[in-house]
Amino acid sequence: MGAKKTTREKGKSKPSDDTAAFERLLKGASRAQRRYVLKLFITGSSPRSVRAIANIRSMCEEYLPGRYDLEVVDIYQQPTEAKGEQIIAAPTLIRKLPKPARRLVGDLSNRDKVLVGLDLCEADKETQVASETPQWLEL
């Protein structure tokens, strides 16, 4: 009797192709289900602090509804926590989870950069060019 042909013998995919496809699916599925843990360091109720809080809350509600924890830390009231995280400028947003941790400094008003920084969307060519352009040259 003839031997049965396996999937690989029929010329389907190689094991390495299967692994790569599985990892892509896993990455896509986990991105949609990830829980984000964010910590925003501010300086009192300054205009930049108020803008940073409003900006990050707006983006979280739009892109991470029900999947984020946001802790706001006033470095005037909790200086030891800021020292422990080595905060040297405020506002500073730290993405604790998912790993790896990331830090974003500023009032978070550039949505494209923040979304890329939080790994909520991919950078396109225009965003990459804009992020390489110094802030003072933007119109």
The pLDDT assigned to 122 comes to 77
Token output for 84: 């422990």
The pLDDT assigned to 34 comes to 82
The pLDDT assigned to 12 comes to 52
The pLDDT assigned to 6 comes to 47
Q: Where are the beta strands (DSSP E) in 1-139?
A: 36-42, 68-74, 92-97, 102-105
pTM exceeding 0.75: no
91: closest CA among 110, 77, 72, 78?
72
Domain 34-120's class? alpha beta
The pLDDT assigned to 21 comes to 66
55: closest CA among 104, 17, 18?
104
CB-based contact 37:102 (threshold 8 Å): no
Beta-sheet pairing, 92-97 with 68-74: unpaired
* Spans of the chain below 50 pLDDT: 5-9, 29, 127, 129-139
Domain residue spans of the chain: 34-120
